[in-house]
Amino acid sequence: MSNLQANKISKIFKDNKAFIAFLTAGDPSLDKTEEFILAIEKAGADLVEIGIPFSDPIAEGLVIQEANERALSVGTTTDKIFMMVKRVRQKTAIPLVFLTYINPIFVYGIDRFFKACQESGINGIIIPDLPFEEKGEVLDVAKTYGVDVITLIAPTSKDRIQTLAKEATGFIYLVSSMGVTGVRSEIKTDLKTMIDDIRQVSETPIAVGFGISDPDQAKAIAKISDGVIVGSAIVKIISEHGDNASDSLYNYVKSMKEAIS
């Protein structure tokens, strides 16, 4: 069975507030990751971010760090993740984006990595520790293989927001708050001003992530942005329910998507 042609990332934001879900590949197993991606899509998610487990994930809070450890402890490798993505691609055209640190890409080989992304049906990539100034090499190779390198913009980017936004493709990942990923009870960043600054120079859709966990938060953020990204709350459901997380994931994602629709 051949891979389904994946939908382009930018398409998901047309006439729709996008719900983007994150999970860690291999937590609790790659077979389950495949099952969970399909459950999340069925519940209404528009795009799924797949975390490649890494031993030193600097941007992640405890919940996702522990998911990385669980995934690595069962022997999850980049090659096995590519094979899992190929299987998912035979069943769904939902856009898929990797979240990985730069080191695993270098170790794998930049060209080899992005070629495998294209062959397996990965549409985009988020690299939290890739400095803007050093993006060139990765960007050129990714472009050759049709993979969007997603721009991350954080509250600390203040003076550089427009520089960062100008070249963005796919979508802009706007980081809602300082520090590492995790569930927050409130988000204090002035997102509206940041979004206005971005919109002056870029038409690329803006999705907000870090700290969003309940439908009310999602609804409020969706009013000012093009979509919401949820990671830790989903990974937490997987850590609590393990192999049996599909139903809980479906119900949670459905409630979040309904809140922003």
- What is the CB-side half-sphere exposure of residue 193 using CA atoms within 13 A? 8
CA angle 30, 39, 5 (to 5 degrees): 80
Choice among 60, 66, 69, 134 that is catalytic:
60
Q: Using alpha carbons, select from 9, 19, 46 the residue that is nearest to residue 213.
A: 19
Q: Using alpha carbons, select from 253, 248, 221, 229 the residue that is nearest to residue 99.
A: 229
- Look up 258 and say whether it is catalytic: no
CA angle 202, 210, 8 (to 5 degrees): 45
- Look up 35 and say whether it is catalytic: no
Backbone angles phi, psi at 115, to 5 degrees: -65, -45
Three-state SS sequence of 117-181: HHHHCCCEEECCCCCHHHHHHHHHHHHHCCCEECEEECHHHHHHHHHHHHCCCCCEEEECCCCCC
Collect all residues with Cβ–Cβ distance below 8 Å to 104 and sequence separation of at least 6. 52, 54, 78
Choice among 49, 119, 137, 203 that is catalytic:
49
Collect all residues with Cβ–Cβ distance below 8 Å to 148 and sequence separation of at least 6. 9, 97, 123, 124, 125, 142, 169, 170
Strands (E), 7-110: 18-24, 47-51, 96-99
Which are the catalytic amino acids? 49, 60
